[in-house]
Amino acid sequence: MLTTPPELTREHLLAAVAALLARHDALRLRLERPGTGPVLRVRPQVPAEEVVTHVRVDDAAAAVAGVHEGARSELDPDEGAMLRVVWCDAGPERPGRLVLAAHHLAVDAVSWPILVADLVAAHRGARGGLAALPTPRTGYARWAATLAAAGGDPRWTDQRGYWARLLEHPAPQLSTVRPDPRRDVLATARTRSFILPAEDTTTLVRDAAGAYSATVPDVLCSALALALREWLRRRGRPLDGPVLLDLEGHGRHDDLVGGLDLTETVGWFTVLYPVAIDGPDAHWPDLLGGGAVVGRALREAKESLHAVPDHGAGFGLLRHGPRPDPGLVAADTPRLALNYLGRVGGPDPALPVDRVPAWSTAPDAPGFPAGDPGLPFAHPIEVLAAVQDGPGGPVLAVDLTWPSALLDDAVVEELATLWTEALRAHATHLRAAEGGLTPSDLRSVALSQDEIDAVTARLRAVGGI
């Protein structure tokens, strides 16, 4: 939901939205359901008049709730209704609102900034008499066709052994109740949220890279694997081997197929793939002090993640592509999925509406709605994490969501508590850690972690580091 400038007119808005629809294939998708399976097809054109609704209101803020839900309810992939735009026009003297609703088949989180920037550029062009936008470097249709054609490339088929070996490790059994897709749907969802304080979050974001060349996902997976091991141990189900997780990624990598560049492309490119997180079996009280065992866990998690080929895209191609691998199709996949959204900003709720810049996110914007209540869960626990900018600095915000029939609230509460403790132990460790390299940091030589540690210790002894 955006604030609108006083000079916005229906004519200019229609021209700007027409330019958006022409530029982005994903906004013109229609879902077809032949007997061979569902297909997304790009329509040649979609009239802007089908997409835009102009509503005159006395109070834009008061009208938004109903408009927001109404726009969402009109989305229908089977009819090709992937985008709806509603202008709540409060007149030339007061800020209005522009509600944008897009179906998740057409957009991912990265798509929204692209859409807004293009809308602003197209509106500026419309006021000057030309609202056209250039074609993106890689359109959604070209991406889909190129990826499908690459399914039989040895680059991907050679990865079969990697994924098969990874899935030989048993997935942690999180529930004693068997999942049922008819029962365990979004309408039954429970959510446990927690926020890591700004002091700890800042340390994780800033110092993990400096000490271990580690990323935030490396830290999240390291701490989550430690928490899951302890959680399972307390239930008499100790884990022998690595912790299997499903990771969700944005999939917008330009080194996957043919140099595709998706930086200007609206669409949903998500990849979902399993990872096996190695790590120590830590005595929990020892771990809470942030000692050497935390550093070892972080380094092993980092190496586990950096060993994944091609950002995990090969798993989806081999399991769901034009020539699916029967072994991977039948394989038992992880029970817990983690999606890290990165660092996200938002409007300042304390800023008066009349001082919010035009085309900015409105401070009274409603949150993203939940999905279809009948949507089955893909995992017994699904985790969404993001670093959010706040008044006291960035904070890590985490949501754990699960079907109520599979797990009791207290059981997930304990997992969330353990994960929080493990994250704070990582922050404690990083404040005092000397850090060090891991094998994936050394591309030109093959050294084990023990060899790297030995060389590092000798260099430190003579003041070489």
SS3 (DSSP) at 82: coil
Q: Which of 169, 117, 110 is nearest to 140 (CA)?
A: 110
Type of residue found at 194: F
Q: What is the largest CA-CA distance in the chain?
A: 75
* pLDDT tens profile 137-146: 999 999 998 8
CATH fit for domain 2-135, picks 3.40.50.800, 3.30.559.10, 3.30.565.10, 3.40.50.2300: 3.30.559.10
3-state helix/strand/coil string of 207-234: HHHHHHCCCHHHHHHHHHHHHHHHHHHH
Q: Which of 259, 269, 235, 230 is nearest to 421 (CA)?
A: 230
- pLDDT of the residue at 65: 74
SS3 (DSSP) at 413: helix
Give me the residues paired with residue 99 across strands: 86
Q: Which residues contact 30 (CB under 8 A, 6 or more apart)?
A: 40, 41, 42, 43, 77, 78, 79, 80
* Least confident window among 43-57, 144-158, 290-304, 407-421: 144-158
The answer, yes or no, to whether residue 57 has pLDDT greater than 90, is: no
* pLDDT tens profile 181-212: 999 999 999 999 999 999 999 999 999 998 89
Give the relative orientation of helices 292-306 and 409-432 as an angle to the nearest 10 degrees.
100
Tallying the residues shown for the chain, one arrives at: 465
Mean pLDDT of 232-258: 89
The answer, yes or no, to whether residue 350 has pLDDT greater than 60, is: no
Which CATH class name applies to 152-432? alpha beta
Q: Contact at 8 Å (CB) between 304 and 449?
A: no
Q: Which of 102, 128, 131, 108 is nearest to 119 (CA)?
A: 131
How far is the CA of 389 from the CAs of 347, 393, 395, 432, in angstroms?
A: 10, 6, 6, 25
- pLDDT of the residue at 429: 95
Mean pLDDT of 353-377: 79
